[in-house]
A and B are shown apart, each in its own frame.
Chain A
Amino acid sequence: MVLAFTLFPALYGIGISMTNMHLGYPDVRFVGFGNYQRFLSWPDLDLIMRNTAIFMGATVLLQVSFGLAAALLLDMRVPGHRFMRSIAILPWVLPSVVVALIFAQVFSGSRIGIVNYVGSVIGMPTMNWFADPVLAMVILIVCSVWRGIPFSLIILLGGLQTLPRDVYEAARIDGATGWQSFRYITLPLLRPIILVTLIMASAGALNSLDIPLALTGGGPGTATELISLSLYKESFFNLDVSYGATIGTMMLIANIFLIIAFLSVRTKGTEQS
């Protein structure tokens, strides 16, 4: 059953991408790699690839670096650290649609939007955040990072807790500063976990569809159009499911690279320990 609903759809999707299946027309023919040729000469391809790269790059970088900073902070045993962990992980359990709707409200373009109100108090003009191509992308990234940090945090925190304490003790006796023990002990030991976090964050950003769809829907115009959004729109707005499946297959290939990277980092980690 698991195979039927995980592996089979992926293979079925590749099959569909080789046809001209369209929900608007009844006939289905085999067209070989026709859809892939169309994909490569797609006029929007450049734009979508650029948007996806910007979105993924910024999201992954911010999510993992803030996640690491938060993990280091929450690994320090001060009173209240458990409570703080619960708070910091909270965004991760919220439904992504809820997160998108809340951010849409916070950055609402009217003067009662929170950010605009706070801005007006300090003398900034009221801005229509989602009408500006750059700002819309920035907010989309901020929203995704906000929701994504806790996941990176959980994995990194788990990794920090497996590090041997006595090494730090030895370093402290030898007079290492906090920065030195982070740079020469924590970072090298945590490297496999950081890699896992980077890979998982990349997969999360690449496949993220809920938040972009609910927050910007690709707009204004095509300023925040991502590859995942085009898959959805081609399949279910234009009803061109075979082309949607083609985009899906290209995304699957990217995912397979990430999965292989993930599994090899994991295996290496296991062999070492």
Chain B
Amino acid sequence: MLAADANSFFWWQWVIDHQGTVRERVIEHVQQTMIAVGVGFAIAVVLSIIALRFEWTARPITRLTGIIYTIPSLALFTVLIPITHLTLLTAEIALVSYTLLNLVPNIVAGVQGIPQATRDAADGMGMGRVRRFWSVELPLAVPQIFAGLRIATVSTIGLVTISSFVALGGGVGSFINDGRSRGFSTPIVLGVALSIILAVGFDLLFVIGQWLATPWARRAR
């Protein structure tokens, strides 16, 4: 199957010949993912603080993030293109919007799920509301926040792949695009494989990151 010509299912020599492009595309993919998740996380924290501080906003905010998520990605890209044109911005607007669904409810639920006794103790010690949030509530919500970040990142990696179908940015999805237009299987296989490797790799990074960030949760009770 791994024969050495262009007609085989996967032509390894082609990958070696294009390793410069491969590296470029992977970096591009990672960058686009990180921008989306980074900006999405910043917005999600702000939205979550609003939702937690003013309880009546919690439901509309989480609902809105849910509604955005139901818009099919290709459709959203298409709608945005006339406004923001075929730019990276178009892709990022869509990608950031999608991260919110996984991030906001996780941050909100993570903070709300903290035992009342812990909150009570923080108040009783004389912590103000702001300090309580940053030094008690947010750290204790880390496991759930990481859970949200993992899903958001993995799904963003997939969406970056899709964004290249409408020629928005590149990423490893452009190999799939390229292969489809030329009827050439090697780049398709490469694109799919790289997408999976990136997703699994990032997921693993988050598992390690969470382990490092939550030393208190390492030992079993």
Q: Do A and B bind each other?
A: no
Q: Identify the B interface with A (CB < 8 A).
A: none
